[in-house]
Structure 1
Amino acid sequence: MTIAPSRSPAPSGATWQRADWASSFRNVGTELADVAVTASRGTIPAELCGSLYRNGPGRLERGGQWVHHPFDGDGMITALRFEGGEARLSNRFVRTEGWQAEESAGRFVYRGVFGTQKPGGALANAFDLRLKNIANTHVVRLGDQLLALWEAAEPHALDPHSLETRGLSRLDGVLKPGEAFSAHPRFDPGHRGAPRMVTFGVKSGPRSTIRLMEFATADDPAAGVQAGQLLAERHDTMAGFAFLHDFAITPNWAVFLQNAMAFNPLPYVLGQKGAAQCLASKPGEIGRFFLVPRPGSAAAERHAKPLEVPAPEGFVFHHLNAFEDEATGELVLDSIFYADFPSIGPGDDFRSVDFEAIPEGQLKRCRIDLERAATDPAGAVSSDWLEQRCCEFATVHPARQGREARFAWMAVTEQERGNAPLQAIEKLDLSSGERRVWCAGARSFVSEPVMVPRAGTGSEAASGPEDDGWLLCVVWNGARCASDLVILNAHDLSEQAVLELPLAIPHGLHGSWVAA
């Protein structure tokens, strides 16, 4: 393993301080519009041209009451635009119906999915089953709209430049009112011609239904196709409750992992818990892979129904990537496994969470023998660890989405074993196992790295190395009590620039890059 130069090397044996980590949890008190930001260290690459969008909770307290879990915080979009070696910063809350109502009331008027209660105790919360669409999980560009995503309902459409909220988007009638729309789309770089955005929605119950949807991401006048147009869809059902936060794609398959979860709605109905707190792992049971043939693919011609295969023991939020191994005929899926479902109980304070009591995420590779899956599902899967260091938010070069990738980048702990806050970025060679780590420093905490290919490497990354480009990462700086934007060379994790932002962005969720 190679250790890349740190931004502020910590003394040997130094550890993180809870006060630094927890200081990120705060209300964002300002909205900026097109403010120039300069590098406090290094130089912004002149070739970096486009916009980094980030989403995450920006309002965590109202009327003196804190959310029970950060995931209940109102969504705030941050945009950093790069051109000619310069950067400009904007941020804006998503003006959801719930945000506007609570801004006016000065208190919580909705229950949170992750346990936040309205004032008044269980009686005030009982039988109030409204879901507050907080638009706080991801942000992606589709056609002329920027979409703020929250997976239990429709996206909110924003202006890509001003970040002004246009309102709920049902994508030209594709979605019904209140229909679930994943916060984890996958962008097909062109497996069968033009690029697509592939996503899904879930209707969970004793039998759950997955709606798989594929959208055009660019105009094609010759074919009469506009960006944002629905190109294909299918509906499939599975037995049992489906808790699906993420999925993966290959040219032929959409790959889901149905975690072995049970949902008891009674405490939620009675106002005692949030809906997500009513989830629990099923003791002694394992999840299963649900392999859905993509519409119009060779798999769809061979299989009318999805393939179902037992998965290894553990719980998965996020997948790194999937691909079809032509040499072996296997479908390969790389995922971050936890030993159990990590949660924060009703009596816990998320700012005081005991990291050592929560299972860490570790990257595992699963190989699914597709031929054997049809006749002997139980014997169709093998698995191996790729990285046992605690990790999250893993990514590959965008052109390798759904294809075999050599490199992965991810947020990791500075310590090599056990759970702790994420304070470093790792580059992992998936072929050799070689690791390179950049450490943010003892008082800094990293978020999801976004890989930006160098312009001109081609959609297939064939005219240049797969690791030719940059990683953009928002870092919470506990010493400043504000956020930094760090630009790393994707090849060797050398630090290119640090931008000290005039903004304190709480620990966030997902983001995306849109080339100019």
Structure 2
Amino acid sequence: MTLAPSRSAADRPATWERSDWASAFRNVGTELTDQAVVPARGAIPPELAGTLYRNGPGRLERGGQWVHHPFDGDGMITALQFEGGEARLSNRFVRTQGWQAEEAADRFLYRGVFGTQKPGGPLANAFDLRLKNIANTHVVQLGDTLLALWEAAEPHALDPRSLETRGITLLDGVLKPGEAFSAHPRFDPGHHSAPRMVTFGVKTGPRSTIRLMEFAAADDAASGVRAGQLLAERRDTMAGFAFLHDFAITPNWAVFLQNAMAFNPLPYLLGQKGAAQCLASKPGERGRFWLVPRPGSSAAQRYPQPLEVPAPEGFVFHHLNAFEDAASGELVIDSIFYADFPSIGPGQDFRDVDFETVPEGQLQRCRIDLEKAGTDPAGAVRCDWLEQRCCEFAMVNPQRQGLDARFAWMAVTEQERGNAPLQAFEKLDLASGERRFWSAAPRGYVSEPVMVPRPGAAGEDDGWLLAVVWNGARCASDLVILNAADLSEQAVLELPLAIPHGLHGSWVAARTPCA
């Protein structure tokens, strides 16, 4: 059975079954290599040439014990290569040191950041502060290396074709062993003359330090710069604990939102909770935007500025985009806000989560008056809703990263208000507010969409939307290809693989013969 897309999700009630949604949480029991996949419906656009990479937890149970939270699962990379209207599928677990040790032991040997405990109760877990680098959050290509990312430690290097794990990489000495490296880099399409990968690492504490790093994303024979070379960096310190998963960039700024969070490490030290379970929002306190000048930009000599978010409470995992509004002189950032930090406490089963008690993510635009920021910080930021339907995993055309974008694509709920599993995709016109939908309901559950521009695209929305969708009807995953302009279905590929609900992914275009 294939998924039947609806024409519009805008006026339909929520239609989902917990058993369908929860059936995606499973161990991946096979690794495939270059397996041909043909459309069950439609046809693959012949111009679609490149590889879609996805990362996410692929191992959720060992020795009969389940992880406490899926974010503690071991990373597995899925690659779908497209060429000439055909597709081939490969998948591999990232062979981290922890994965190999636990595979051999067939039990958990490490605690998980999100609450997974080793067998033996608190006494067996107390004061064991080792972190298992699970490499499960994102996957990007930098030069000839694929990077599997997990933000609490160094990246793992993989072969882009075979997905073979080469091992931990310190990026030619840029990182120190164990140094945090973000799982959410931003790719600058060329604001500083050539494409760059901009990313960061955070050292947290009573005062937190952000290390901003910019790497060449492509070789430049004329200058001798090679892809993966560190081009610029800076370090800045902010007061208070900083839990930062994502950030946004413009040509001149890196924009961070420091959520109003407190961290009480005692339950973690005593073996009662995972580190992330020791985080809590500070009631009534506001988050703060930090505007960090990018090295080499016209703002490079300015000091980072903390600016309070107007909303009294809230939490942000992901940003859509940011840009500098030339007409108003404002810095604009679009982010997905939650009313509070969503978490799964001890004793709760993540498969039984009550969505009605978990705050929904909603897209909000904040405009920062850069002139007022220096004289009236309290009045420098104003915010308005862009989308109040529950949403996540929003993105713009990658060529508009850091620029004023007309369109956004995101995963959303089938219902208009309240929280629920993500079952649809939305294209939002950020200028007019017009919305288009494609729905996988009632038995499909969507993941992060990746917008792929058509080669020689005539417009910002000229391209495709690619996404892995969990098909509860056949307990396996589909790859859906949609027209990015109107979300009309181009093809559905029924994958011979059951991929658990995942996290982030990326598209790497095929190289042209003269590239």
TM-score range, shorter chain: over 0.9
Q: Deviations over 1:179-229 (max 9, x none)?
A: 000000000000120010000000000000000000001111211100000
Equivalent pair of 1:134/1:150 in contact (CA under 8 Å): yes
Q: Please report how far the alpha carbon of residue 311 of structure 1 lies from its aligned counterpart in structure 2 after TM superposition.
A: 1.2
Kept after mapping to 1: 8 A contact 2:58/2:74 = yes
Cα distance, 1:283 vs. partner?
1.1
Q: Within 1, Cα distance between the matches of 2:357 and 2:65?
A: 26
- How is 1:139-288 mapped onto 2 (pairs within 5 angstroms)? 139-288=139-288
TM-score (norm 1): 0.97
Match of 1:480 among 474, 483, 493: 474
Partner of 1:307: 305
SS at match of 2:227: coil
Pair 432,241 (structure 1): closer, same or farther in 2 beyond 3 Å: same
User: In structure 2, what residue type is equivalent to 1:482?
Assistant: A
Q: Structure 1 vs Structure 2: percent identity of aligned residues?
A: 84
Q: 1:437 to 1:222 in 2, by over 3 A?
A: same
Pairing of 1:301-450 with structure 2 (within 5 A): 301=301, 303=302, 305-313=303-311, 314-450=314-450
Residue in 2 that maps onto 1:460: none
1:336-393 Cα shifts (integer Å, max 9, x gaps): 0000000000111000000000000000000000011011110100110000000000
Matches of 1:119 and 1:373 in 2, distance apart? 51
Contact 2:362-2:388 within 8 A present in 1 as well: yes
Aligned residue for 1:297, secondary structure, equals coil
Whole-angstrom CA distance in 1 between matches of 2:7 and 2:170 = 44
CA pair 299-477 structure 1, distance change in 2 beyond 3 A: same
Alignment deviations for residues 283-303 of structure 1 (CA, whole Å, 9 cap, x no partner): 1101100000000100113x1
Match of 2:16?
Answer: 16
Q: Does 1:494 align with 2:492?
A: no
| Counterpart secondary structure, 2:335 | strand
Shift of 1:441: 2.1
Question: Displacement, 1:10?
Answer: 13
Aligned letter for 1:311?
Answer: V
The yes-or-no answer on 1:291 pairing with 2:285 is: no
Q: Equivalents in 2 of 1:157, 1:138: separation in Å?
A: 12
Counting only pairs closer than 5 Å after superposition, residues 28-47 of structure 1 correspond to structure 2 as: 28-47=28-47
Q: Deviations over 1:161-195 (max 9, x none)?
A: 00000000100000000000000000000012001
SS at match of 1:374: helix
Per-residue CA shift, 1:416-469, capped at 9, x if unaligned?
A: 000000000000000000001111120100000000000113xxxxxx110000
Judging changes above 3 Å, is the alpha-carbon distance between structure 1 residues 476 and 332 closer, same or farther for their aligned structure 2 residues?
A: same
Distance across 1 between alignment mates of 2:414 and 2:349: 24
Distance in 1, matches of 2:205 and 2:11, equals 52
How has the CA–CA distance of structure 1 residues 138 and 435 changed in structure 2, closer, same or farther, with 3 Å as cutoff? same
Aligned with 1:503 (options 497, 503, 506): 497
* Residues 390-423 of structure 1, C-alpha deviations (whole Å, 9 max, x = no match): 0000000001000000000000000000000000
Q: Is the 8 A contact 1:7 1:440 kept in 2?
A: no
Q: Give the letter aligned to residue 503 of structure 1.
A: L
User: What CA distance in whole angstroms lies between the structure 1 residues aligned with 2:9 and 2:432?
Assistant: 27
Distance 1:503 1:8 in 2: 28
Using the alignment, how far apart are the partners of 1:25 and 1:355 within structure 2?
Answer: 16
Indicate how the Cα distance of structure 1 residues 87 and 8 shifts in structure 2: closer, same or farther if over 3 A, else same: farther
- Report the AA paired with residue 231 of structure 1: L
Equivalent position SS for 1:222: coil
Partner secondary structure for residue 199 of structure 1: strand
Deviation of 1:14 after TM superposition, in Å, equals 6.3
Q: What is the distance in 2 between the residues matched to 1:48 and 1:254?
A: 32
**What is the root-mean-square deviation of aligned Cα atoms in Å?**
1.4
Partner in structure 2 of residue 75 of structure 1? 75
Give unpaired runs (5+ residues) of structure 1.
Answer: 458-463
Q: Distance in 2 between matches of 1:65 and 1:391?
A: 31
For 1:28 and 1:9, the matched residues in 2 are separated by 31
| Partners of 1:63 and 1:106 within 8 A in 2 | yes
Flag as ranges the 4+ runs of structure 1 deviating above 6 A.
7-12
SS at match of 1:40: strand
Question: Does the 8 A contact of 1:7 with 1:441 survive in 2?
Answer: no
1:174/1:208 CA distance change after superposition, 3 Å? same
User: How many Å separate the matches in 2 of 1:274 and 1:420?
Assistant: 25
Aligned residue pairs: how many? Answer: 505
Q: Deviations over 1:12-55 (max 9, x none)?
A: 65620000000000000000000000000000000000000000
- Deviation, structure 1 residue 62: 0.1
- Contact 1:5/1:494 (8 A) holds in 2: no
CA distance in structure 2 between the aligned counterparts of 1:219 and 1:363, rounded to whole angstroms: 36
Question: Normalising by structure 2, what TM-score?
Answer: 0.97
Which residue identity is paired with 1:382? R
8 Å contact kept, 1:10–1:441: no
Contact 1:8 1:440 in 2 (8 A): no
Distance 1:368 1:135 in 2: 35
Q: CA deviation at 1:312?
A: 3.2
Q: Taking structure 1 as reference, are residues 8 and 40 closer, same or farther at Cα in structure 2, changes over 3 Å only?
A: farther
